[in-house]
Chains A and B, each alone.
Chain A
Amino acid sequence: MADEPLIYENQFNVQGGNFSDAGKVASHIKAILKGFGIPSEAVRKTALVAYESEINIVSYARKGVIHLRLAPDQIVIETIDEGSGIADIELAMQEGYSTATDKIREMGFGAGMGLANIRNFSDIFHISSEPGKGTSLKMIIKWRP
């Protein structure tokens, strides 16, 4: 997989706390994938996991980067943030568990569904986190069955 040739690669910076722009990167990624003629179901899943990840960075991190890699059979979204991290990943993955602030809830997020959605819409999902340092996510969406 590591040697797989790439069709396209890019990375996008996300500023923590910048709620008004939250979702901009996901919209951009969606437009890029559409431009490559990727099937709409795979575009939708990728945009969705990128969007929930972006909301998480804006909500819980100082800053982060979202990497997009388009390979001949799959799309890889990788996010690396600098922030508070997650002390108990198992707990954070539980549907309904949230540490969201009022600001996050005002946007319609913070119901404890974000990571569960990311896991459910990814074909392969990895999460790692170091409390006090940050969180990394890797999501793979297969687009050529």
Chain B
Amino acid sequence: MEVKTAFGADLMSDVLAFAQSGSLLLTGLTNPQVIRTADVLDISAIIIVRGKRPSPDTVQLAGDLGIPILVTRFILFETAGRLYQSGIRGCLVKVDGSVHSHG
């Protein structure tokens, strides 16, 4: 699996609005809705930050849907910074202010 872009948020509606297919998702949420959201968007893998552990039903669902979960003790900012330093870029740089649609 090759990943070039990432998005980070704890608000699932923001993830739905902005994250793009094939991106990594960095989040502090650990419930099954994170997996559902990732599935809907074809997210390549989820990184759970701040040392949180996914709940057993989250792990189960991720396994069923074939979505990898990684965990890290780094905070969201640090995780994003380290990934950026390694060449990963945001799935979008900034929002255009008026619409959230990707067309």
A associates with B: yes
The interface of chain A, by Cβ under 8 A from chain B, is 20, 22-24, 26-27, 30, 40, 44, 47-48, 51-52, 55, 106-109, 111, 113-114, 116-117, 120-121
**How far, in Å, is B90 (CB) from chain A's closest CB?**
19
**How far, in Å, is A96 (CB) from chain B's closest CB?**
11
**Contact of B100 with A30 in the complex, beta carbons under 8 Å:** no
Q: Does B89 contact A (CB under 8 A)?
A: no
Interface size for chain B: under 10, 10 to 19, 20 to 34, or 35 or more residues?
20 to 34
Residues of B within 8 A of A26 (CB): 36, 40
Interface SS, B side: helix
State in angstroms the CA–CA spacing of A107 and B16 once bound together: 13
Q: Does B10 contact A (CB under 8 A)?
A: yes
Residues of B within 8 A of A27 (CB): 36, 39-40, 65
Knowing A113-B17, A120-B99, the reply to whether A30 touches B39 (Cβ < 8 A) is yes
**Contact of A51 with B100 in the complex, beta carbons under 8 Å:** no
Q: Does B72 contact A (CB under 8 A)?
A: no
**How far, in Å, is B33 (CB) from chain A's closest CB?**
5
Partner of B40, one of A51, A107, A114, A116: A51
